[in-house]
Structure 1
Amino acid sequence: MKGARERRVRVLAHLTELSELPLGGLPEPAFKERLRAELMSGALAAAEPDAPEERAAGRPRPLLGGLLGGLLGGRGRRRRSRGRPLLSQLATVGLVAALMVSSFATYRAVPGDSLYPLKRAAETTLVRLTSDDAERAARELDSAKARAKEVATLLGSSVDGPLVDETLKDMEESTRAGISRLERAEPRSPKIKKFARDQKEAVKPMLQQLDEDQLAQAEGYLSYIEGLAAPE
């Protein structure tokens, strides 16, 4: 149980760091270097179980080393006991590493891109791994802000209307989920009004670029968030 909690904390920490990247941005070189180093240490950690004296001393594994070791640890030991070659384990680690490194590109993705589902999956995982209600609400509202930026990006390109429709819908769903949770966790929180003001500024400039159905959807959303910012 303790190991599972530690792996959850490591995953959450990395997803948090990735989620803080600006839309369309890339990770800092220092982060990529640290990730590469930890992936290498993860391969070694998966190949060699922790020594008893290290476990007794409570020395932590590297962040991703611990994660990869946790993914492969138990099965890796059973495979070695059956004589499976170490090469197959390292190949699996390499596959996981490649997937994690490629996920950087998802933070440039917008609806319609092949990597966009991976971006949304990482975002959803980050929300679900957060146990604190106020923090989870904040992540939901961050998702709503991301959807607003994506709508603006889509409107500036030649895309099909359904992508805009779906993104507007996702924006509203994330907003309502986040506001509902935040109102339970922190009644009358000033964060609600700030979010409403920020979203109004983000969505209002889009109205002239929307078709009739999208305009009705966006205006309904604006009406909802304007109610949140109204004086009590």
Structure 2
Amino acid sequence: MSRARRRRELVIERLTELRDPSLGGGPEPAFRERLREDLVSGRLLLSAPGEERAPGPARPPVRRRRPPLSQLATFGLAGVMVIAAFATYQAVPGDTLYPLKRAAESTLVHLSADDAERGERELASAETRAKEVASLLGSSTDSPLVGETLKDMEDSTRSGISRLTRTQPRSSKIKKFAQKQRDVVEPMLDQLNEAQKGQAAGYLDYIEGLVAPAR
């Protein structure tokens, strides 16, 4: 006997009981009509005693989407970080972000894998100092920051050259660096005061020896 047939018989038995006058009167005709329609259409589901309904298919997990406001905040923060990094890279002596720029350069130097890489990064810092001097000269030739930056440029140059000549004595990078620095520093001489000009001239004499061919 199928389950559907068993459920129909249970319903018929229940209807028979409801028609029994001893139970205080049967159900209203309208109720019986609605019940019959539900049974025919399958909308009424009755389970036999001890029978359990089969579990339905598991629903796929619902992925929670991040609120639009949170996404905008994330993009905004990323944009601010990019702008801050660019502003730090463009900072010159005297700017608020300049110490952060120098700290980042120093960190890169100390994180270098070996002396050769450390020397190359120090020469890169020297090139940056030369560009900063040129930027400062466009605003004021009497600023003490010009002299300080010239000294930092020379210190980075000597340290970087020392490391490279010890690890890569015949590296072509040394000559290329010296030529590039000479082309940047020489045009500054006419804009420097006497003390600054002495610093720049001594620096040019030093790197000129790096450009000249070895005998």
Given the two structures, how large is their TM-score scaled by the length of structure 2?
A: 0.61
Select the residue among 162, 165, 177 that pairs with 1:195. Answer: 177
CA distance in 2, matches of 1:138, 1:111: 22
Point out where structure 2 has 5 or more consecutive residues left out of the alignment: 1-70
1:114 matched to 2:93? The reply is no
8 A Cα contact 2:178 2:211, kept in partner: yes
2:121 alignment partner in structure 1: 139
Larger Rg: 2
The aligned amino acid for 2:186 is K
Question: Percent identity over the alignment?
Answer: 66
2:20 is matched with none
Contact 2:87 2:97 in 1 (8 A): yes
Q: Verify the 8 A CA contact 2:141 2:192 in the aligned structure 1.
A: no
Paired residues for 1:45-56 under 5 Å: none
Q: Distance in 2 between matches of 1:179 and 1:143?
A: 12
1:154 lines up with 2:136 in the alignment: yes
2:151 is equivalent to residue 173 of structure 1? no
How many angstroms apart in 2 are the aligned matches of 1:203 and 1:173?
A: 15
Kindly tell me the number of residue pairs found equivalent between the two proteins: 142
Match of 1:68 in 2: none
Are 1:217 and 2:199 an aligned pair? yes
- CA distance in 1 between partners of 2:141 and 2:87 (Å): 20
**Deviant stretches of 4+, over 3 Å:** 97-101
More helix by share: 1
Written as runs of structure 1 = structure 2, the 5 A alignment for 1:1-232 is: 102-158=84-140, 160-232=142-214
Secondary structure, counterpart of 2:146 in structure 1? helix
- d(CA) in 2 for partners of 1:204 and 1:215? 10
d(CA) in 1 for partners of 2:97 and 2:142?
18
- CA distance in 2 between counterparts of 1:104 and 1:115 reads 10
